[in-house]
């Protein structure tokens, strides 16, 4: 497979290097100079996208072994290498299946210069090859994690059927002294108690169907935490944007009482005030969790330009009443390893029909689903000590569409896992899951 396809930016230069014959010594020197120039230009393009402070922190990490040569434990690293083969059929895109291969590599570096300071720099690289790159319009933008200021990413190559893409998705420094902890940089701020949908997660909302990105995207943010006790704290977090309609600022209080964890929060997200709360505990040895969020009407936000969807219903951003969202979650593990998990999600402004059409509007509005109601049900069981099987469904009771996700996970040897997973969606056109399609995946993951 060529690194540079017919559509690659450096394709012309690459073809120029491969051109034969090269007969004279002068021509040979010219060819060598051209090769070196291309290599330098690739790194120049990468570093050009980094703002000076980010670059300084990266260089600090790279120089950490020199700074701490006397104590090797001050810099540690781990990560994984994954291979994912998939076949997918999207009804609205093509009648043919899209077959893809993905190599996914991740390196996590952890730095401990002094007791009160620690840092992290994580880099992930993905190489795609197959029908999705070729057939899905603007595929590269769909695999990127978009940030307000610096992306800290680089497209190493982009051919007709292949893409090589790398990004720094964690880059932070953490200072702690006594009960105070301050974290600055690209980090994961995970608020919420439920296991599938977290309506109070204002900074990093996640999707359970994005199974190959366990770490989830980070946010460029400042996080200040003050621990008032072993299981209680006060937290203030700020994620700046280019303007107030793209910024998030919120505070949260966490307390423990009656064997339950309780959370209360308030703030502003994308120019909309938010008030919320959550809890986590147990009833008769079964986990019991919940989250509540009240937010200003979506018409306080400005949607990104898109298609006119008025034929299918009223835009989510025309909703002029406060929005109430909630989730209830319960799970239980039997002595024979059988695990049951149920969650219910509610959105007061959710769609009762044509929910699939409004998916992207819902994501822009901070909703976890475009529908009024969503139900999640999971069963899992240890078939053998090394083989676990599971299946879950997500059902939209309003339009009767659903997606089923069966999965088998096998621990082959130490640090090597094999996974088979499938998505099977059902429903009419324009329902939440009716046009989602069907997919099957095989994954090998080696961790180090």
pLDDT single digits (tens) 259-290: 999 999 999 999 999 999 999 999 999 999 99
Identify the pLDDT of residue 401: 97
pLDDT in tens, 57-74: 455 445 544 444 444 468
Structure tokens, 185: 């940089």
What mean pLDDT do residues 310-318 have?
Answer: 85
- Lowest-pLDDT choice from 11-25, 58-72, 217-231: 11-25
Identify the pLDDT of residue 73: 62
Angle, CA of 419, 196 and 99, to the nearest 5°: 40
Domain membership flag for residue 30? no
Domain membership flag for residue 63? no
Identify the pLDDT of residue 18: 35
Instruction: Specify the 3-state DSSP secondary structure of 199.
Output: coil
Q: Which of 1, 2, 8 is nearest to 158 (CA)?
A: 8
Identify the pLDDT of residue 7: 36
CA distance 215 to 206: 10
In 136-238, which residue ranges form alpha helices assigned H by DSSP? 139-142
What mean pLDDT do residues 370-392 have?
Answer: 97
CA distance 314 to 305: 16
Q: Are 417 and 211 in contact (CB under 8 A)?
A: no
Note down the domain range covering 111.
76-447
Whichever domain contains 162, its CATH number is 2.40.160.10
Count up the domains in the chain and report the number: 1
Q: Could you tell me the sign of the dihedral formed by the alpha carbons of 186, 192, 193, 194, in that order? A: negative
Domain membership flag for residue 61? no
Q: What are phi and psi of 9, to 5 degrees?
A: -65, -35
Identify the pLDDT of residue 29: 43
Domain membership flag for residue 431? yes
Name residue 88's beta-bridge partners.
98, 439
Domain membership flag for residue 289? yes
Domain membership flag for residue 24? no
pTM of the model: 0.81
Domain membership flag for residue 228? yes
182 Cβ contact list (under 8 Å, min separation 6): 174, 175, 176, 222, 223, 224, 225
What mean pLDDT do residues 289-317 have?
Answer: 83
Domain membership flag for residue 363? yes
């Amino acid at each position: 497979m060529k690194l540079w396809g017919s559509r690659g930016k450096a394709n012309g230069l690459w073809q120029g290097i491969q051109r034969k014959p090269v007969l004279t010594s002068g021509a040979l020197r010219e060819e060598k100079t051209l090769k070196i120039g291309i290599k330098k230009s690739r790194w120049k393009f990468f570093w050009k996208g980094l703002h000076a402070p980010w670059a300084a922190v990266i260089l600090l990490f790279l120089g950490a072994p020199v700074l701490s040569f006397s104590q090797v434990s001050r810099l540690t690293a781990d990560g994984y290498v994954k291979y994912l083969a998939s076949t997918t059929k999207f009804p609205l895109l093509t009648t043919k299946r899209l077959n893809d291969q993905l190599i996914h590599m991740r390196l996590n570096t952890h730095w401990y210069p002094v007791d009160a300071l620690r840092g992290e720099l994580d880099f992930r690289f993905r190489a795609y090859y197959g029908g999705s790159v070729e057939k899905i319009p603007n595929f590269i933008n769909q695999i990127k994690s978009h940030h307000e200021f610096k992306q800290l990413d680089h497209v190493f190559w982009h051919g007709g059927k292949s893409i090589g893409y790398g990004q720094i998705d964690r880059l932070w420094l953490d200072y702690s002294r006594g009960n105070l902890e301050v974290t600055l940089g690209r980090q994961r701020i995970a608020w919420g108690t439920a296991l599938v949908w977290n309506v109070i997660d204002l900074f990093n909302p996640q999707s359970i169907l994005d199974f190959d990105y366990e770490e989830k995207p980070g946010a460029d943010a400042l996080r200040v935490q003050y621990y008032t006790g072993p299981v209680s704290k006060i937290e203030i977090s700020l994620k700046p944007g280019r303007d107030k309609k793209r910024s998030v600022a919120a505070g949260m209080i966490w307390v423990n009482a009656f064997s339950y964890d309780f959370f209360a929060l308030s703030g502003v997200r994308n120019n909309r005030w938010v008030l919320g709360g959550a809890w986590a505990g147990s009833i008769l040895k079964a986990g019991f969790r919940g989250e509540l969020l009240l937010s200003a009407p979506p018409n306080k936000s400005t949607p990104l330009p898109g298609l006119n969807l008025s034929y299918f219903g009223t835009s989510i951003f025309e909703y002029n009443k406060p929005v109430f969202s909630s989730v209830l979650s319960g799970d239980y593990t039997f002595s024979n390893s059988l695990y049951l998990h149920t969650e219910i999600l509610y959105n007061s402004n959710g769609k009762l029909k044509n929910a699939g059409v409004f998916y992207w509007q819902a994501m822009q509005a901070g909703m976890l689903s475009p529908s009024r109601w969503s139900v999640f049900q999971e069963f899992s069981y240890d078939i053998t000590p090394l083989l676990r099987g599971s299946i879950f469904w997500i059902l939209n009771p309003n339009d009767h569409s659903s997606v089923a996700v069966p999965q088998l996970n096998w621990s082959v040897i130490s640090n090597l896992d094999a996974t088979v997973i499938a998505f099977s969606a059902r429903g009419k056109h324009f329902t939440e899951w009716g046009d989602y399609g069907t997919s099957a995946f095989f994954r090998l993951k080696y961790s180090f």
